[in-house]
Structure formats: structure tokens, C-alpha cells
Amino acid sequence: MTTAPPAPPETDAAAFVAALRRLKAWSGLSYRQLERRATEAGHTLPYSTAATMLGRDRLPREELVAAFVAACGVRAEEAEAWLDARVAIACGPPAETAVPSRTVAADPDPRHREGAEDVLRSGRARRVRPRRRTFAVAAAVAIMLFGGLTATGAFADDVEVERTGTPLYLPRS
């Protein structure tokens, strides 16, 4: 271990796992030795989990990366770089702050409904109307009306009881 360990990439999960494989090769340790060194460092890293982690191209969990990097003998500052790179890949690229994503439209045209907004996407404005909210309010009102009518007995069929002459309550004997 005279050379520096490989640096973590921040491009995608496959490149990150490939860099973890290079880190294992750099350490020169077997999976069983990695398990023992992780335990000595206070982590849990079963050898089968480490082998499975390096055999896939998916982003491993943060605690596995911390245990693996510590077992490979990476110093604390460099280990933080590995964890930061993993978080950067998991969270995706930072959002653009130069262009506002939504602005309220000041449209003089009275045909457009109130509450509509212009959404800027790639320099062009697109009209968005709050349809989901309107549908949700209409559905809630319909449910309340139906529930109220059901509770008052508007849908009850009392005609059958009147025809048979059967009282609603049986007389006590």
C-alpha cells in the first residue's frame, strides 16, 4: 500500500462500485480479511455481503460503504470523500438555481381561469391549471352529500314495512 487509494467517482452507481472494486484490489485483502478488519474497526461487514456488493452495479447502502472503506484501510478524511460521493450519486445532481421553475402568471386575458400558473421549461412557458385540486374538492363535496343523504334515510325504502303491516319493534309478551 505505497500508492494512494483510488478516488471515488461522483458520476453514477456503476462507476462507484467499480471504484470500490479497485479499492479492494488496492488493499490486497480477501473478503474474509475485510470482514475481520471491519469488525476491528467497529463495523459489521460479512464477507458474503461485501462480495455481493462488489458483484452488482447498484449503489450500496451508506453503512456498507463506511465499513468497506474502513476495512480497506482508508484514512478518515478519504473515507468521508467516499461517503460524500455516495450521497452525491444517491441524491442526484444539484438543482439549477439560475432559472426559476415556477412563476405566477399575470395574464390580462379574462378567459383564463384564476389560479392558473405559467411553468417555465427550457425557456418556454406552459399553462398549468389546478385540475387535481378541483377534482379533489369536487370528490370531497360529493362524498359529503352522499353521506348526508344516507344518514338522513333518504335512500331507505320504508314502503315495504308499510305494506306488510309489520311493526318495526316486536311487542313484548
Domain boundaries, the chain: 13-91, 132-164
Mean pLDDT of 145-172: 65
* Res 104: pLDDT: 47
Mean pLDDT of 22-48: 93
**Which pTM was predicted?**
0.53
**Across all residues in the chain, what is the average pLDDT?**
77
Residue 168 has pLDDT above 70, yes or no: no
- What is the rounded distance in angstroms from the CA atom of residue 5 to the CA atom of residue 114? 59
E strands, the chain, are 102-104, 117-121, 124-128
**Residue range 97-128, pLDDT digits in tens:** 554 545 444 555 555 545 445 555 555 555 55
* Res 27: pLDDT: 93
Give the count of alpha carbons within 13 A of 72, CB side only.
Answer: 26
Residue 158 has pLDDT above 70, yes or no: no
Tally the residues of the chain.
Answer: 173
Say which range, 4-13, 55-64, 75-84, 156-165, has the weakest mean pLDDT: 156-165
**Residue range 33-44, pLDDT digits in tens:** 999 999 999 999
Q: Band of the pLDDT at 151, cuts 50, 70, 90?
A: confident
* Res 8: pLDDT: 87
Nearest to 7 by CA among 30, 21, 24, 23: 23
Mean pLDDT of 150-165: 62
Q: Band of the pLDDT at 71, cuts 50, 70, 90?
A: very high
Q: Band of the pLDDT at 96, cuts 50, 70, 90?
A: low
